[in-house]
A and B are shown apart, each in its own frame.
Chain A
Amino acid sequence: MSFLHINNVHKRFGETHVLKGVDIAIEQGDFLVLVGPSGCGKSTLLNMIAGLDSISEGELLLDGRCINDVHPSRRDIAMVFQSYALYPSMTVAGNIGFGLEMRKVPRKERREAVDRVAKLLQIENLLDRKPGQLSGGQRQRVAMGRALVRDPQLFLFDEPLSNLDAKLRVDMRSEIKQLHQRLKTTIVYVTHDQVEAMTLATRIAVMRVGELQQLGTPHEVYDDPNNLFVAGFMGSPSMNLVKARIVEHDGVLVAQVATGDTTLALPIVRDREALSDWCGRDVILGLRPEAITDPASANHRDGNIHEAELPVDLIEPTGADLYVVTTLGDASVNARMRPGTPLRPGERTRFAFDVSRMVVFDPESERRIRDEQVVDSALEETA
């Protein structure tokens, strides 16, 4: 049985249906990251787990117990808020200890617990200050301390790093990761940040207007997206999406892309079974920028590299990488090349496509066209 089970949960605010049946299950020690565009219901879902918003329909199980009607203070859940929500008139120590005080923990024990957490977060020297006298990063730490001190079953984070500057955000990100690895707690974490989601999560849930699009490991969500939305949402720069047609060529299944003067034919190596039904039909190809490179930096070992000469429209050096923009079909396509590759707009150069990473979508339903998953059938057997 899973540790946290969100079972077909709905939320309505009057007429508006904000969550439309969300199903998520995670294990103890998991780090679940909720991502999705603004307003898709991430905070609402988090608040429902915390008990701060009521559940319109469905069930919430924590460690096998239904907690739908349990008061927030008795769910054994702690939450870190985006605005930190530090009590302005209490000292840092008072803030961290408040939850214990409300639970009638004796003063001495409280003091010890606060000191322990303060040490863990390296804020011992701030304990007597008021929140108004702290920097953004320090406030963030205090907010985390307030959650940690109670040693709850489950931690909830609602965009905890979004108010920090870029550098601090990276530092805090790795601290949260270390903390998770050390304490082995279960965490549900909301963020807008792609990198945060990829680096922190053991499971990512992608949401869109109140519906779960995909739940999986970061790797699954990134490389094996369920649909066009997930493919486009995850990753920055985002996945290249190109119109193509599936045809059979000398017994080989290929995806044909018209590129101005010639036609590019990319052999299909993934999901071949499912795509054989799509011969002669239009599809949408998805290729990550890092799957299109210069021939020298491509991985030729598996023989999945397909090369083609294409015009260079634009080059965008970012320092670490060089993004080269070309045109496939009627779409601009981003390729990631080695920095320093000598290229100029208007030239033609050879691009290497790693077709093993190519994913294909149904343009009508926007769903992924994929072979029956091994995992799925294994699950069905056990069931």
Chain B
Amino acid sequence: MSNASPDRDGGARERLQRWLPKLVLSPSCVLVLFFVYGFIAWTSYISFSDSGMMPDYTWVGLHQWSRLWTSWTWGIALHNIWVFGLLYIVSCIVLGLILAILLDQRIRAEGVLRTIYLYPMALSFIVTGTAWQWFLNPGLGLEKTMHDLGWQSFSFNWLIDSNMAIYTVVIAAVWQATGFVMAMFLAGLRGIDGEMIKAAQIDGAPAWKIYARIIIPQLRPVFLSAVVVLAHLAIKSFDLIVAMTGGGPGNATAVPATFMYSYAFSRNEMGIAAASAVFMLAVIAALIIPYLYSELREPRS
């Protein structure tokens, strides 16, 4: 037959076609393997090495880890992230849920309000930090404004009070993320079967009871997603703290992320920095991996 040679050509092309998908995927795989997993491995190794300013591959076991764990600043950082994370997650969820429920009452200007609640999410943490630093500035900001308005006894100097400074960061962070949590809840509320609510209304249940007993329990997956996302944002929080307090006053608002950064780049203590980074990764992994696993599992039986 005369078409023997095109068939053979086709064979080569088909072989190429079979390999193309993997070929196209491979650059990303290589990048991710090297820059993510390779780097994780490297940093993990460094946390067990004698590295200071420069990497030094002598194995020193848990030396850096014990230095990390006995570090006073690291203790503050852990305490802060715990306080910050808890307040941040709880406040965002409570406020976000309330706003979502209020917005779900067939509000006329819903679109505009939603936009207003959500816009902080579009801002850089540095911008947010700059704005709130100014807003809460004891000499010129809110405190002075209240004094001007005649409320002489009003006092708000948390930003420079080392016991309270972390809470100012919480306020700014909550301001930034509530809108997003609200949007998640709103999407969840819109997804609930309306028939069930109608049935409950016909049964004579008051509105708050319908929310408490029927609607909110159904939002469980949204709660889960919100907690995971917020916890992950909290642990990664770095920009906002740098912009608002720079970790200060003193070390009062240090968190693991700022701790790692300063040990890595200002104090030239690579080993300790690496150990703190590995610790952060471990916490996030413990949180994210089960979540991703359950989200990606096939719903098929």
| A74 and B14 alpha carbons, distance in the complex (Å) | 11
Per-position binary interface string of chain A over residues 60-86, scored 1 when its CB falls under 8 Å from any chain B CB and 0 otherwise = 000000000001001000000000000
Residue B75 lies at the interface, judged by CB distance under 8 Å to chain A: no
Size of chain A's interface in residues, with CB distance under 8 A? 2
Size of chain B's interface in residues, with CB distance under 8 A? 2
Could you say which residues of chain A place their CB within 8 Å of the CB of B10? 71, 74
Could you say which residues of chain A place their CB within 8 Å of the CB of B14? 71
B126 CB, nearest partner CB in chain A, Å: 40
B11 CB, nearest partner CB in chain A, Å: 9
B8 CB, nearest partner CB in chain A, Å: 13
| A74 and B10 alpha carbons, distance in the complex (Å) | 9
B19 CB, nearest partner CB in chain A, Å: 14
Q: Tell me if B's interface is mostly helix, strand, loop or mixed.
A: helix
**B-facing residues in A203-220 (Cβ within 8 Å):** none
A260 CB, nearest partner CB in chain B, Å: 44
A52 CB, nearest partner CB in chain B, Å: 14
Per-position binary interface string of chain A over residues 130-161, scored 1 when its CB falls under 8 Å from any chain B CB and 0 otherwise = 00000000000000000000000000000000
A326 CB, nearest partner CB in chain B, Å: 40
B6 CB, nearest partner CB in chain A, Å: 9
| A74 and B6 alpha carbons, distance in the complex (Å) | 11
Could you say which residues of chain B place their CB within 8 Å of the CB of A71? 10, 14
Per-position binary interface string of chain B over residues 1-36, scored 1 when its CB falls under 8 Å from any chain A CB and 0 otherwise = 000000000100010000000000000000000000
A54 CB, nearest partner CB in chain B, Å: 11
| A2 and B268 alpha carbons, distance in the complex (Å) | 80
Could you say which residues of chain B place their CB within 8 Å of the CB of A74? 10
B73 CB, nearest partner CB in chain A, Å: 53
Per-position binary interface string of chain A over residues 327-351, scored 1 when its CB falls under 8 Å from any chain B CB and 0 otherwise = 0000000000000000000000000
| A71 and B10 alpha carbons, distance in the complex (Å) | 9
A16 CB, nearest partner CB in chain B, Å: 13
A134 CB, nearest partner CB in chain B, Å: 29
Chain B residue with Cβ nearest A74: B10
| A71 and B14 alpha carbons, distance in the complex (Å) | 8
| A74 and B3 alpha carbons, distance in the complex (Å) | 12
| A197 and B14 alpha carbons, distance in the complex (Å) | 37
Chain A residue with Cβ nearest B7: A74
B301 CB, nearest partner CB in chain A, Å: 12
**A-facing residues in B218-265 (Cβ within 8 Å):** none
| A290 and B10 alpha carbons, distance in the complex (Å) | 56
**B-facing residues in A71-112 (Cβ within 8 Å):** 71, 74
B300 CB, nearest partner CB in chain A, Å: 12
B127 CB, nearest partner CB in chain A, Å: 39
| A266 and B243 alpha carbons, distance in the complex (Å) | 95
Per-position binary interface string of chain B over residues 40-69, scored 1 when its CB falls under 8 Å from any chain A CB and 0 otherwise = 000000000000000000000000000000
| A71 and B8 alpha carbons, distance in the complex (Å) | 12
| A379 and B10 alpha carbons, distance in the complex (Å) | 41
| A45 and B10 alpha carbons, distance in the complex (Å) | 25
**B-facing residues in A279-327 (Cβ within 8 Å):** none
| A63 and B139 alpha carbons, distance in the complex (Å) | 91
Interface residues in chain A, defined as those with a beta carbon under 8 Å from any beta carbon in chain B: 71, 74
3 interchain residue pairs of minimum CB distance: A71-B14, A71-B10, A74-B10
Pairs A–B under 8 Å by Cβ, sample size 3: A71-B10, A71-B14, A74-B10
